[in-house]
Amino acid sequence: MTITKTAALAAILSAAATGAALADWPTDRPIEMIVAFAPGGGTDIMLRTLAPFLEAELDTQFPVLNRPGASGEIAYTALSQARPDGYTVSSLNRPGFLTMQIGRKLRYDPAEICPIARIVEDPGTFIVQAGSPYKSLADLVAFAKENPGAVSVGTTGVGTDEHLAMLQLEQAAGIDLTAVPFGGANEAKTALLGGHVAMIGLNVGEYTQSDHDAFRALAQFSEARSTLAPDLATAWEQGFDVLMSSERGLAARCDVPEEVRAKLAAAVDTALANPEFQDKARQQALPLAYKSGTDWQADMPVRLARYTEIFKLIEGGQ
């Protein structure tokens, strides 16, 4: 009896608390911003650059809390366990958010997490040594057709962006490449410089900051050319169906009241339009690419199906 009473009381109290919070949102207390990666990474820099502008916009504070690990699962789990009152938001990364749903038992329900907005899109790219005979994807594909398995591609592990891009290229061009996992982009770059692998996968952001006399990019894997590399042709333009971008944005629980989520989205939208923010983003080499939460969300099932198909290739022993 007592237990039921206490539970009922707790329910009333928490409902009251939520109601009160809603009215004052967001000025009565800080909004916690969970970042799924360690400080200093691309996602962390993006949100730390954005936070002061959101603070000015919403007249509140956005303390950043890094919860790195398990490629984001720790942060998404923390978000799904937070109260749905709009005082907790988290970073959202695609494809990581989608690929972890494939064949992995998660400790949260992905359907409970809704994007607020996409902020940055950093396309994937393949780079070769500057002196390499491959000048375009077509050159590489032609060679790989003659010599199946002979082209080694440095990635950062199974199921990572670079690996998925490689699998898409294999499928699109009907070729056979060899994936070689490395511990990180720097290790892979060193191996490419030493000629131990023929090609490595990177993000355009990483490529633009590396030595252009040493490397050449073959293609970028976004739908449209990134602001960071307007002269680099996409894989689509070169006739290969490869889509792989690191998309980074903000998310909240889906059961956060609609008007709170709308206010958050509007604040992000305004901040991104602010020339001062755009300046800061340029300094940090952030390829801004705003997409509304609804559009981004609508796009998720198609992408998930696509990645699920690709993952079947991995299990098929590719």
Partner 1 sequence: MTFVDLLMLGFSEAITPANLAFCLLGALLGTLIGVLPGIGPTATIAVLLPITFFLPPLAGIIMLAGIYYGAQYGGSTTAVLVNLPGEASAVVTTLDGYQMARQGRAGAALAVAALGSFFAGTVATFAIALAGPTLSRFALNFGPAEYVSLMVFGLLAATILASGPVLKAIGMILIGLLLGMVGTDQATGAERLTFGAIELFDGIDFIVIAIGIFGFSEIIANLERTGSEGVKLAPLSRLWPTRQDFRDSWGAVLRGTGLGTLLGLLPGGGATLASFSAYSLEKKVSKHPERFGTGVVEGVAAPEAANNAAAQSSFIPLLTLGIPSNNMMAMMLSAFMIHGITPGPTVLTNQPEIFWGLVASMWIGNLLLVVINLPMIGLWVNLLTVPYRLLYPAILLFCCIGVYSMSNRIFDVVLAAGFGLLGYAFRKAKCEPGPLLLGFVLGPLLESNLRRTLLITQGDPTIFVERPISLAMLVATVLLLALMILPSFRRTREEAFQEEEV
The site for partner 1 (CB under 8 A) is made up of: 38-40, 65-71, 73-74, 77, 107, 149, 152, 157-159, 178-184, 186-187, 189-191, 193-197, 210-211
User: Cα separations (Å) of 158 from 162, 164, 179, 303?
Assistant: 9, 8, 9, 18
Q: How far is the CB of 104 from partner 1 (least distance, A)?
A: 9
* Cβ-proximal residues to 179 (8 Å cutoff; 6+ apart), any chain: 152, 153, 155, 158, 163, 166
- Whose Cβ is closer to partner 1: residue 136's or residue 186's? 186
Q: Judge whether 115 and 158 are in contact, CB under 8 Å.
A: no
Assess whether the previous peptide bond of 26 is cis (omega < 30° from 0): yes
Q: How far is the CB of 265 from partner 1 (least distance, A)?
A: 27
> How far is the C-alpha of 314 from the C-alpha of 298, rounded, in Å?
26
Q: How far is the CB of 163 from partner 1 (least distance, A)?
A: 10
Radius of gyration of the chain (CA): 22
- Whose Cβ is closer to partner 1: residue 5's or residue 105's? 105
Q: Which amino acid is at 225?
A: R
- Whose Cβ is closer to partner 1: residue 113's or residue 272's? 113
Q: How far is the CB of 107 from partner 1 (least distance, A)?
A: 6
- 235 bridge partner residues: none
- Whose Cβ is closer to partner 1: residue 131's or residue 275's? 131
DSSP state of 260: H
Q: How far is the CB of 295 from partner 1 (least distance, A)?
A: 30
- Whose Cβ is closer to partner 1: residue 6's or residue 147's? 147
Q: How far is the CB of 74 from partner 1 (least distance, A)?
A: 6
What stretch of H or E contains 16? Answer: helix 2-24
Q: Judge whether 288 and 42 are in contact, CB under 8 Å.
A: no
Distance of CA 156 to the CA centre of its chain: 15
Q: How far is the CB of 34 from partner 1 (least distance, A)?
A: 10
- Whose Cβ is closer to partner 1: residue 215's or residue 240's? 215
* Cα–Cα–Cα angle for 194, 196, 200, rounded to 5 degrees: 95
> How far is the C-alpha of 163 from the C-alpha of 313, rounded, in Å?
11
- Whose Cβ is closer to partner 1: residue 57's or residue 73's? 73
Ramachandran class of 40: left when φ > 0, alpha when ψ lies in -120 to 50, beta otherwise: left
- Whose Cβ is closer to partner 1: residue 195's or residue 239's? 195
Q: How far is the CB of 218 from partner 1 (least distance, A)?
A: 20
* Cβ-proximal residues to 68 (8 Å cutoff; 6+ apart), any chain: 35, 36, 37, 38, 74, 75
